[in-house]
Structure 1
Amino acid sequence: MEDLKIMLNSIEGLDKDAMAAAKRYLDHLSKPIGSLGVLEDLVVKLSGIKGKTIKKINKKTIVVMCADNGIEREGVSSCPREVTAIVTQNIADGTTAVCKLSEYYNSDVELIDIGVDKDFDDPKIVNKKISYGTRNMTQGPAMTREEVVKAIKVGIETVRDLKERGYDLIGTGEMGVGNTTTSAAIISVFSGIDSDLIVGKGSGLTDDGLAHKRRMVKKAIEVNKPKVEDALDVLTKVGGLDIAGLCGVFLGGALFRIPVVIDGLISSAAALCAKGLCPKAGEYMLGSHLSAEPGAQFAMEALGVQPLFNLGMRLGEGTGCPIAFGIIEGAIYTMSNMASFSESGVDESDYIDIRETE
């Protein structure tokens, strides 16, 4: 626990000088100042993360944390528990949506078993198992504090390893039956919003199933009384190993100065936990899509993160990240290769910047 505190205390904010330099560079390109909007914002933020005006992404991957959730025993999902292991293996086989989108956008996938209720014998699945799933959070805490810290460290160590392997852009994904339930509880606690407004149908519940799921989330929060001021307490009581592992990925991104892209509802919950543990970690997060799950908007607002697009997606796995990678790399490529006004033969002193005024 002490070494985790040391790591959190060593996280620094964005490099403001690098951001200012990037902004000056962009403002001299042959376009109206700020006219590329969010694309310019991305380049400036990435420069603050990297400590220099960023010109290229070298390697990118999506970290997919897989784990079972004890709350699944309460019938909060339309899928049986065994689906976690099945889909984990499918990701290893390269047959799922995140695999195909990653292939298209030239991204890798780092697949981690942090708590699946099955043992695997596949070199493509990194074994970091802490337990065979969590406990039922309607009966008490889902995990011990020690298990949560171990899971967070798995995420941090994963980012350290990825950095050593040359990765400089990371996405977040997960697989775990029941994890939209744990995510809804976490988002409700951190946002202060009634969980009934946050809980969605997940993998396809009926209206009756949704009502039951809402009751289970309320029960878990009432039984455990998680403390919003203590992110470890929230994770321990109503979290999951997959979420705790992704929390570590976000913290690792901040620690090793690597941008980390949020996928959907579950990784948003993990991002809230990371920001709760270290507010500066929120500066290293980038949005991808706005999930169709009702809690996603509340999570994005609580994080202060702007989603880059909305395609009505709600699959999870990290499927929003490769699409976001394409937007991020497109922004970097465009502004790294545009001509400046001086290179175009334009006297900048004669250029009139027309901007909207309030």
Structure 2
Amino acid sequence: MKTWTPSPIAPPCEESQTAARARQARLTKPAGSLGRLEDLACRFAGFQRRERPQPPQAAITVFAADHGVTAEGVSAYPSTVTAEMVKNFVAGGAAICVLARAEQARLEVVDVGVDADLSALPIVHAKVRRGSGNLRREAAMTPAECAAALAVGQAAARRAVEAGATLLIAGEMGIGNTTPSAALLCALTGALPEVAVGRGTGVDDSTLAHKRRVVADALARFGQRRQPRPLDVLAELGGLEIAAMAGFYLEGAASGVPLLVDGFIATAAALAAVAIDAAVAPWLLASHRSDEAGHGTALWALGLDPLVGLGLRLGEGTGAAVCLPLIRLALTLHDQMATFDEAGVSGRDA
């Protein structure tokens, strides 16, 4: 079983961001008139260490795993759907497959903990165990298993960067994974289950109330630990694919590549990554605000302002992939618009 070794993380380049802001001030438009597109361009200047950043080449990695907590009846779908959806990814029929093709983004699917034999599929086989433990009654993972899952994500980020990726997206597939995500949100931020726990795959009111009790019970079970380390929180209350996503974010930031964060589960993984190493935070961009309860709280805890709010709650990395054209256009505007001097247009102070 591989283990995770953290890599040092350097911050984005402030000088390049400053130069990009100066360029924005010279472009033929009123200052600030392109709104958050201007901020995006300047952020990417810092990421790429150049005044005029180029549209990124995105890589999407979908981590798949099952969750023992589904035995508590917290999802509207059976856990067998996880393996079935992985097969759908391979066939190219899932939403993230369609978006990756449209954006010409590299797409990789990683089995980090699916409770099925998927060895015949052309995916990355990195199974740590067949599904996590039932976090209501036991640790989701042992410390060694959590470290192994972090290492799976670390290796995936390295593969993507070595293949030429300049922007990373982590997606997930795992029936029941909004429950550990909510538990992590509560443990890492102090949020209450009533705020953090949502309907996930669309559970009814009685199941929602039950799901909140499950999370409360998991927190009570774990709450006996004093001053737990972030890695302990992740092992006790997380999931295999969530830990892999956290490792993916940690290594992406260490590689100097920006991380476009998807929805609720992805943001819970980002919370865990930042708790492990706060230096990840400047490399995070929030793509969208999910309709899943708790996502807004998780974004607030990370200090992230999402680019769009489209009512999405699918996961898989879809919300992040939808934002790729927006990023590309922001950087193209920054690069190709004329300055006042180039266009012979009088500036504001002329």
| TM-score in same-fold range (> 0.5) | yes
Shift of 1:37: 1.7
8 Å CA contact 2:58–2:167 kept in 1: the answer is yes
CA RMSD of the aligned region, Å? 1.8
1:170-185 alignment to 2 at 5 Å? 170-185=168-183
Task: Name 1:113's counterpart in structure 2.
Answer: 111
Shift of 1:140: 1.7
Task: Name 1:87's counterpart in structure 2.
Answer: 85
Shift of 1:108: 2.8
1:206-285 alignment to 2 at 5 Å? 206-225=204-223, 230-285=229-284
Task: Name 2:156's counterpart in structure 1.
Answer: 158
Distance in 2, Cα, partners of 1:107 & 1:66:
19
Task: Name 2:165's counterpart in structure 1.
Answer: 167
Q: Moved runs in structure 1, 4+ residues, more than 4 A?
A: 3-6, 226-229
Change (3 A) 1:224 1:349: closer
8 Å CA contact 1:19–1:45 kept in 2: the answer is yes
One-letter code of the match for 2:237? V
1:276-315 alignment to 2 at 5 Å? 276-315=275-314
Task: Name 2:68's counterpart in structure 1.
Answer: 70
Any idea what the Cα deviations from partners look like across 1:119-157, whole Å, max 9, x if unmatched? 214553111111101111111211011111111121122
Shift of 1:227: 6.3
Distance in 2, Cα, partners of 1:333 & 1:293:
32
Stretch moving more, 225-234 or 318-327? 225-234
8 Å CA contact 2:170–2:245 kept in 1: the answer is yes
Percent identity of paired positions between Structure 1 and Structure 2 = 38
Change (3 A) 1:73 1:105: same
Stretch moving more, 41-50 or 69-78? 41-50
> What SS does structure 1 have at the residue aligned with 2:133?
coil
8 Å CA contact 1:189–1:228 kept in 2: the answer is no
Distance in 1, Cα, partners of 2:288 & 2:247:
21
TM-score by length of 2: 0.95
Distance in 1, Cα, partners of 2:280 & 2:110:
22
Distance in 2, Cα, partners of 1:96 & 1:231:
33
Any idea what the Cα deviations from partners look like across 1:136-186, whole Å, max 9, x if unmatched? 111121101111111112112211111111111111210001100000001
Unmatched tracts of structure 1, length 5 or more: 352-358
Shift of 1:272: 0.1
Distance in 2, Cα, partners of 1:108 & 1:6:
25
Task: Name 1:195's counterpart in structure 2.
Answer: 193
Change (3 A) 1:87 1:31: same
Distance in 2, Cα, partners of 1:12 & 1:60:
21
Shift of 1:6: 4.9
One-letter code of the match for 1:303? L
Unmatched tracts of structure 2, length 5 or more: none
One-letter code of the match for 2:260? V
Shift of 1:35: 1.9
Stretch moving more, 85-94 or 224-233? 224-233
TM-score by length of 1: 0.93
